[in-house]
């Protein structure tokens, strides 16, 4: 590979280098069968390169416009496919390489159609299918299609158009021959007029690069975001570019460069690497086959330097399972009482959490489904975290669908969480799947875990009567004598909050701590402007708000009621009173608190170690 000079972008430097190197190449001749084309300067030379997100790198005469010529053929074919569909197009033109020159007068007599749309005969047959009520409307529709591909309004080089219209007798012969055998139905002169105008569309290599990037980007113009072709049409177009795009050089081109491509007699070559990039080159001198000499050399160099050949696939299948764990090892953030914690340490084994990442396609999905298939033999609940999944294709969706059916039959409940990770398309496909299969969808993984933990614990059936709230069932007060408990009962203040109410606010003075009698509350911390993260969830029998009381500072988090809650408050003054009356009460409470803190820290450490 060429050595990079330092600069704004190593790739830009690379292009500059190969441009300088290949500029010195001689050989080839500027096409002169169209008189106007013969005027092209042989030294003109431009390379543009576009990524599928529309980043274009250019070098040389990339601002100069030239007529698109045969590079228009795949795009016209794609447009016709969109309008008429594959079956109708196949009746009009075949998909077989000819092994003959682009302007050869050979037709597939057996099927009564031209061999393929990349040679003149086929492209003229495609032009005969342009829709529109009048010739002018058909020209306008053709021009609009190409402008959509380029992402800007493209004009026609009138001189080139007239020059070819006056001298294009060979194409005229082809059109009349096709009229004679019923391969086209329209007036050949009008069809040729449209075809010559299409070939005379003025483009730069930057335009061609964007047009190619639209193909690489599955039919969506990366500059405008407009969908010009569907993915099936893109597939058909690229296939024909691969087999027929470089005329009778197609075999050698596939072997050497390995990219679908199209050339034109103006000296343009456009190559596409699906899903990645496009390369557009313009250099008028042609080899005897009609391909740009520097264009072929540059594509060959770039493909080899960067390993772009389509069959240069190293065998890699992404592992889309980033992490697999269980609620026993990574419980939800909900703070549980010791009995619940003990239960979950065991029963949490039945709840699996699997984080997905990357791209799901045939091979990666097949591997994932195999692993998940083994997992559902061991668990009752499976939470799939989609946060890091970027894409999913049709094959993967089929595997997934089948997996959901099988896991249901196995009695395993599947939940999807954080669906919005990848593109909007991906999120749409996954929520569609969830809808079709009745899969439960959660916004956050934590809520999913908490829900299944609750199911495992069967909390719903735990009876609760807050009118008769027994302080001795609260861990914090364990070890106190009945008389001491009665003393506390006199001090505490029962309070009720409705769902969504702020019980504590960050920054407020903390004079009171709370014991939750009923319902659950969320602990939220601010992570940025207007951004809050739920860091914990507290249920009945637990306490909160103790930090500020112990430290005597402001509140470090917000606590919000998840539902209607009842809690009991104890103020600093109450604690002081208790300390004065009976130091044993306070020391028992503090010892219980310390025990609770220790187990919270242990739980936290377990979570942290899981995250390594």
Helices (H) and strands (E) in the chain, counts: 20, 21
Residue 453 CA to its chain's centroid (Å) = 32
Q: What are the phi and psi torsion angles at 422 (to 5°)?
A: -85, -145
164 binds ligand GLN (CB under 6 A): yes
Task: Please say which residue, 265 or 430, places its beta carbon nearer to ligand GLN.
Answer: 265
The alpha carbons of the chain give a radius of gyration, in whole angstroms, of: 36
Of all residues in the shown chain, the one whose CB is closest to ligand GLN is 70
Q: First vs last Cα of the chain: how many Å apart?
A: 38
Task: Please say which residue, 164 or 418, places its beta carbon nearer to ligand GLN.
Answer: 164
Active-site residue, from 70, 263, 278, 332:
70
Alpha helices in 25-153 (DSSP H): 72-92, 120-127, 135-150
Contact between 566 and 496 under an 8 Å Cβ cutoff? The reply is yes
Q: Which helix (H) or strand (E) holds 386?
A: strand 381-392
Task: Please say which residue, 138 or 262, places its beta carbon nearer to ligand GLN.
Answer: 262
Among 62, 163, 171, 484, binds ligand GLN (CB under 6 A): 171
Task: Please say which residue, 48 or 120, places its beta carbon nearer to ligand GLN.
Answer: 120
73 catalytically annotated: yes
Task: Please say which residue, 266 or 592, places its beta carbon nearer to ligand GLN.
Answer: 266
Contact between 292 and 281 under an 8 Å Cβ cutoff? The reply is yes
265 binds ligand GLN (CB under 6 A): yes
x/- mask, ligand GLN, residues 96-135, rule CB under 6 A, reads ------xx----------------x---------------
Count other C-beta atoms under 10 Å from residue 95's C-beta.
18
77 catalytically annotated: no
Contact between 281 and 299 under an 8 Å Cβ cutoff? The reply is yes
Active-site residue, from 77, 195, 249, 361:
195
Among 62, 70, 214, 357, binds ligand GLN (CB under 6 A): 70
Task: Determine the 3-state secondary structure of 221 from DSSP.
Answer: coil
Active-site residue, from 161, 247, 361, 452:
247
Task: Please say which residue, 70 or 98, places its beta carbon nearer to ligand GLN.
Answer: 70
Task: Please say which residue, 120 or 204, places its beta carbon nearer to ligand GLN.
Answer: 120
Between CA 583 and CA 552 the distance in angstroms is: 20
Contact between 125 and 193 under an 8 Å Cβ cutoff? The reply is no
Pairing mode, strands 543-544 and 512-518 = antiparallel
State the minimum distance, in angstroms, from the CB of residue 107 to ligand GLN: 16
67 catalytically annotated: no
State the minimum distance, in angstroms, from the CB of residue 114 to ligand GLN: 13
State the minimum distance, in angstroms, from the CB of residue 46 to ligand GLN: 17
Pairing mode, strands 440-442 and 413-417 = parallel
350 catalytically annotated: no
Q: Total residues at the site for ligand GLN (CB under 6 A)?
A: 11
Q: What share of the chain is helix, strand, coil (3-state, %, to 5)?
A: 45, 20, 35
State the minimum distance, in angstroms, from the CB of residue 264 to ligand GLN: 4
565 catalytically annotated: no
Q: Which helix (H) or strand (E) holds 564?
A: none
Among 79, 260, 264, 540, binds ligand GLN (CB under 6 A): 264
281 beta partners: 47, 269
Binding residues for ligand GLN restricted to 188-207, rule: CB under 6 A: 199
Binding residues for ligand GLN restricted to 286-325, rule: CB under 6 A: 290
Among 62, 69, 163, 407, binds ligand GLN (CB under 6 A): 69
Contacting residues toward ligand GLN, per CB under 6 A: 69-70, 102-103, 120, 164, 171, 199, 264-265, 290
Q: Which residues are known catalytic residues? A: 70, 73, 195, 247, 265
């Amino acid at each position: 590979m060429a050595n990079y000079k330092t600069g704004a972008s190593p790739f830009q430097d690379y292009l500059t280098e190969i441009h300088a190197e290949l500029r010195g190449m001689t050989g080839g001749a500027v096409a002169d069968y169209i008189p106007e084309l013969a005027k092209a300067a042989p030294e003109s030379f431009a390379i543009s390169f576009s990524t599928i997100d529309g980043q274009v790198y250019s070098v040389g005469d990339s601002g100069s416009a030239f007529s698109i010529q045969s590079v228009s053929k795949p795009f016209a074919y794609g447009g016709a496919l969109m309008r008429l569909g594959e079956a109708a197009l196949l009746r009009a033109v075949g998909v077989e390489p000819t092994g003959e020159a682009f302007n050869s007068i050979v037709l597939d007599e057996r099927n009564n159609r031209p061999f393929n749309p990349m040679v003149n005969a086929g492209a003229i047959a495609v032009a005969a299918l342009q829709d529109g009520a009048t010739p002018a409307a058909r020209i306008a529709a053709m021009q609009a299609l190409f402008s959509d591909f380029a992402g800007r309004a493209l004009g026609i080089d009138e001189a080139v158009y007239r020059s070819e219209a006056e001298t294009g007798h060979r194409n005229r012969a082809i059109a009349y021959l096709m009229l004679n055998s019923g391969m086209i139905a329209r007036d050949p002169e009008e069809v040729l007029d449209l075809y010559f105008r299409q070939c005379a569309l003025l483009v730069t290599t930057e335009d061609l690069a964007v047009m190619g990037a639209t193909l690489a980007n599955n039919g969506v113009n990366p500059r405008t975001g407009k969908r010009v072709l569907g993915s099936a049409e893109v597939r058909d177009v690229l296939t024909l570019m691969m087999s027929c795009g470089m005329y009778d050089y197609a075999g050698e081109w596939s072997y050497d460069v390995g990219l679908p491509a199209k050339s034109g007699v103006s000296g343009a070559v456009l190559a596409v690497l699906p899903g990645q990039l496009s390369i557009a080159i313009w250099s008028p001198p042609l080899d005897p086959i009609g391909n740009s000499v520097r264009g072929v050399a540059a594509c060959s160099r770039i493909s080899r330097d960067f390993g772009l050949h389509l069959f240069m696939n190293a065998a890699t299948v992404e592992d889309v399972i980033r992490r697999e764990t269980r609620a026993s090892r990574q419980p939800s953030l909900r703070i549980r009482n010791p009995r619940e914690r003990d239960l979950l340490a065991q029963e949490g084994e039945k709840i699996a959490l699997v984080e997905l990442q990357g791209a799901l396609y045939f091979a990666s999905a097949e591997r994932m489904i195999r692993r998940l298939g083994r997992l559902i033999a061991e668990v009752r609940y499976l939470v799939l975290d989609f946060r890091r999944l970027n894409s999913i294709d049709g094959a993967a969706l089929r595997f997934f669908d089948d997996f959901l059916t099988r896991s249901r039959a196995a009695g395993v409940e599947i939940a999807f969480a954080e669906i919005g990770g990848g593109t909007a398309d991906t999120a749409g496909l996954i929520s569609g799947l969830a809808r079709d299969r009745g899969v439960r969808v959660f916004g956050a993984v934590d809520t999913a875990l908490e829900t299944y933990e609750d199911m495992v614990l069967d909390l719903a059936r735990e009876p609760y009567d807050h009118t008769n709230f027994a302080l001795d069932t609260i861990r914090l007060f364990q070890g106190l004598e009945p008389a001491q408990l009665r003393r506390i009962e006199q001090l505490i203040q029962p309070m009720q909050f409705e769902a969504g109410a702020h019980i504590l606010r960050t920054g407020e003075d903390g004079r009171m701590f709370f014991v939750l009698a009923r319902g659950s509350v969320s602990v939220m911390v601010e992570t940025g402007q207007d951004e809050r993260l739920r860091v914990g969830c507290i249920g009945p029998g637990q306490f909160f708000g103790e930090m500020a009381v112990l430290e005597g500072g402001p509140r470090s988090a917000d606590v919000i009621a998840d539902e209607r809650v009842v809690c009991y408050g104890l103020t600093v003054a109450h604690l002081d009173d208790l300390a004065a009356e009976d130091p044993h009460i306070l020391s028992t409470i503090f010892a219980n608190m310390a025990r609770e803190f220790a187990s919270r820290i242990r739980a936290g450490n377990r979570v942290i170690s899981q995250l390594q």
